[in-house]
Amino acid sequence: MRQTRLATLAVGLVALSAGCGFIGPDSAGPVTEPPPDASAPPTSPGGAPPPGEVVGVDREWHEAKVHFDVSPVEVDGDLAVLRYDFTATPADPSQDPWFSTLALSLGELGHPGTEGRGVRLFDTDAGLVHAVAHTSDGAPAALIDQVESESGDEPLHGAAIAVFAAPESDSVDVLLPGYGAVTVPVVAAGDDFQDAVDQVGGVGEAETTKLRAFTRSYEAGSATSAEDDDVTVTLASDVLFASDEHTLSKKARGVVDRAAASIKRQADAGDVQVVGHTDDVDTDSYNQMLSERRAKAVADRLRAGLGNDFTVTEEGRGESEPIVQDTTEEARAANRRVEIQFRGHLVVEADPESDVPETDAPTAENDAVTITTDDSRYTVEVESMVRRPGAIVGTLVAERTKGTSTDPAWFLPAYLDQIGGREFGALADVAGAHNLSLLGAEERVLPFDYVAEKSDGFVLRRLLGDEEVKPLDRGMSTLITVVWPDTGQDTVTVDAPDRFRITDVPVTDAPTGD
């Protein structure tokens, strides 16, 4: 008898079809039993799934058939349990073992040290994301059952559970890194809920985190972020002021005027706070004074543009609140800024008043594009763009058609060039989909993100989507899921800066069930 523990993520699944709650192009309906060509899978860890419809999701990996049964999320008090089973049938039984490269741990769920990249629950209507909870000793509160197989030509079975902070809605979206997203009901806990929690080692901490929306203007002079009802418009000081100056140029006055118009769209009235920041060059006292003068210059211009419905105040914070912890020129440029903070909601202008920025990257109209790196070639296409409350869930499929060398940053050449300095980690620098944008009328719309770690002034953010697009072998495909704020458009343009652009992609509404 051969045993294999599923513990690492191997990307390379292409969507084939989906259950009624699956965020994607097709619907296969809810299922209550495994596919007819599979023998009975092992019992889920923690006991039987809760009552309610199980959502079936089918995938294909190099012609191997992979079937997921994702159960409703059970809730008891402040905790929730997610259970899923999977069955995989090999395309080539002669491989020994055929499943050695087919890892089904869903983003390394249950693998120590990688819980931040694992499966997550998200509710874009409430603007919340739930990462896998931690046990009292800091390990992920998750478990993947061992898989046993007599021979390589038998279906591979597995089952898993994970514990989260409880969602409050009647349904929730489940992000399965490398496999897409699926919508499942939220139901009351069954009798063996506590058994499931005990099996993962109990729960020491389960957190719910606010999602942050983020856009950046095409001229890169301003960026807007929204977390809950808190909106911040960030203006680059290098665009507003000459070096060591605090007087707005004619161009800078236009930037502030556009910011005022944006605030009017996003907040009916209220308090507006202007905060000046500098880099760490020169003395603390000089930087404090410069930040105060720059904040006042912007605030005075804003008062004229906003009118009597808004109360504008200003302050300077010098070099005390850098957003990038580094001393490079790029980091210092990001830290030189003026922030405009107010209560409201992010509004994306959908219809361009002018043409979006031109690109020299390969471009296609709702079709696959071919991109090349030094010695490799890839095709990328959008499988689906599905509207959820306040969000668009995008699914892309990419395949490597040429080349064999390791090419870790093939998807987005983001190395040291993350748009907006959004406090992502080193992994995002080389392998993430963090720069993948939807193009609005005046700005790039970046994927949702959220705070994963915050201590002593250090902030680490995570992407709501596939954070690591791993290198592909020739002939291998990968599924990439990204969740953006809703642009309100019926068709969208998906833009990977300097890599590819796909225009006129239709946005469909998520299935609501049978």
* Predicted pLDDT of residue 381: 96
In sign, the C-alpha dihedral spanning 399, 65, 383, 182 is negative
Instruction: Give the integer Cα–Cα distance in Å for 366 and 374.
Output: 26
* Predicted pLDDT of residue 414: 56
* Predicted pLDDT of residue 31: 40
Instruction: Give the integer Cα–Cα distance in Å for 344 and 139.
Output: 37
In one-letter notation, the amino acid at residue 71 is S
Tally of CB atoms within 10 A around 206: 18
pLDDT tens for 417-432 read 778 878 887 777 677 7
Tally of CB atoms within 10 A around 353: 7
The answer, yes or no, to whether residue 362 has pLDDT greater than 90, is: yes
The answer, yes or no, to whether the previous bond of 36 is cis (omega within 30 of 0) is no
Same fold, 230-343 and 363-509: no
CATH architecture, range 363-509: Sandwich (2.60)
pLDDT tens for 144-188 read 775 655 555 667 777 888 999 999 999 999 998 877 899 999 999
In one-letter notation, the amino acid at residue 474 is R
Count H helices and E strands in the chain, helices first. Answer: 6, 32
Return left, alpha or beta for 477; rule: phi > 0 is left, psi -120 to 50 is alpha, else beta.
beta
Pairing of strands 171-176, 120-123: antiparallel
Residue 237: strand, helix, or coil: helix
Instruction: Give the integer Cα–Cα distance in Å for 434 and 212.
Output: 13
Dihedrals phi, psi of 197, to nearest 5 degrees = -65, -40
What does the pLDDT average to over 191-218?
93
* Predicted pLDDT of residue 30: 39
Residue 201 CA: distances (Å) to CA of 110, 134, 305: 11, 9, 57
Q: How far is CA 3 from the centre of its chain?
A: 34
Per mean pLDDT, which range of 1-5, 297-301, 323-327, 373-377 is the poorest? 1-5
Instruction: Give the integer Cα–Cα distance in Å for 317 and 300.
Output: 18
The answer, yes or no, to whether residue 349 has pLDDT greater than 80, is: no
- What are the boundaries of each domain within the chain? 2-210, 230-343, 363-509
pLDDT tens for 303-320 read 999 999 999 999 999 999
Query: Residue 58: CB partners within 8 Å, gap ≥ 6?
Result: 16, 17, 18, 28, 65, 66, 67, 68
* Predicted pLDDT of residue 133: 92
Residue, of 417 and 272, whose pLDDT is higher: 272
Instruction: Give the integer Cα–Cα distance in Å for 352 and 373.
Output: 31
Our CA dihedral for 427, 428, 431, 436, rounded to 10 degrees, sits at: 170
Q: What is the mean pLDDT of the chain?
A: 81
Q: What percent of the chain has pLDDT over 90?
A: 47
Residue 184, strand partner residues: 172
At 481, the pLDDT band (50, 70, 90 cuts) reads very high
What does the pLDDT average to over 22-45?
44
* Predicted pLDDT of residue 138: 85
The answer, yes or no, to whether residue 18 has pLDDT greater than 60, is: no
Closest C-alpha among 340, 339, 271 to residue 311:
271
pLDDT tens for 457-471 read 678 888 999 888 878
Pairing of strands 212-217, 120-123: unpaired
At 63, the pLDDT band (50, 70, 90 cuts) reads low
Per mean pLDDT, which range of 23-32, 56-65, 192-201, 252-261 is the poorest? 23-32
| DSSP character at residue 465 | B
pLDDT tens for 325-348 read 778 887 888 889 999 999 998 888
Q: Domain 230-343 sits in which CATH superfamily?
A: OmpA-like domain (3.30.1330.60)
Per mean pLDDT, which range of 17-26, 97-106, 126-135, 284-293 is the poorest? 97-106
